[in-house]
A = this chain, B = another copy of it.
Amino acid sequence: MTESRRGRPSTGVREAVLKATEEVLGEAGLALSTKEVARRAGVVESSVFYHFGNRLGLLQAVIGLHLPVFADATVVLGRTRRSGDLTADLAAVIGGLERFYLRIMPILGALQSDLKLRELLVERQAEVGPHLALKPVAELLRAEQRAGRVRESLDAAAGALLLIGAGHQRALHRYLLGGLAEGVLPPVESVAETLAPAFAVA
């Protein structure tokens, strides 16, 4: 719909390949092969090389697709309307972060598992990277502080780390353990309730 009419019309191969890559990345991790990706995308392997140059280029492309989103936790968080009840609001934020991290878990895993990919991340760390999520969450907290719903003396960055840590931790264990995680993990509500006194106005 938003496609330009100029240039060669896209045949959707690029998109299909990217989608397939994400799929495979979620299953095989970095054991991902261009052949398998091509097979899933219903495309011939050389098309992958045509579009992305080489295997690392393909990996970069999928990661690049997601990394900006890392910085956009506000998309998730901003939409959630504050109820005024601190515990409920904290639970909503943690829950939002949890869903966000669950979605990008394969990409995060790949980043963790490959030296070359990590080097790439360090190179471009100003623009992209999971650490950028810290900023919008801290910003959200500062807004709440201005509204008088969170204590003035709170270190917004540290508060953000705690919220992100909790959300990510829950996401990680759910990703690793699947359905079994529910039996081991404390529920979001408990975590929010536990954290609330640290955020509450004196």
Contact = CB atoms under 8 A, between A and B. Distances in A.
A176 interface: yes
Interface in A184-202: 184-186, 190-191, 193-198, 200
Interface stretch (A1-9, A11-19, A42-50, A112-120): A112-120
B29 A114 contact: yes
Q: Oligomeric state, in number of copies?
A: 2
A193 B155 CA distance: 9
Interface in A14-31: 26-31
Interface string A159-182: 111101111111011011110110
Contacts of A177: 121-122, 125, 129, 131
Contacts of A30: 29-31, 113
B173 A130 contact: yes
A28 B118 CA distance: 10
A140 interface: no
Interface residues of A, number: 59
Contact of A112 (B112, B180, B200): B112
A26, A113, A125, most chain B CB atoms within 10 A: A113
Contact of A165 (B31, B118, B169): B169
Contact of A154 (B110, B160, B194): B194
A88 interface: no
26 contacts: A29-B29, A29-B110, A29-B113, A105-B112, A106-B112, A112-B175, A113-B113, A121-B176, A122-B177, A129-B176, A130-B173, A131-B173, A131-B185, A134-B184, A155-B190, A155-B193, A155-B194, A157-B190, A158-B195, A160-B186, A161-B166, A161-B170, A161-B185, A165-B169, A168-B169, A197-B200
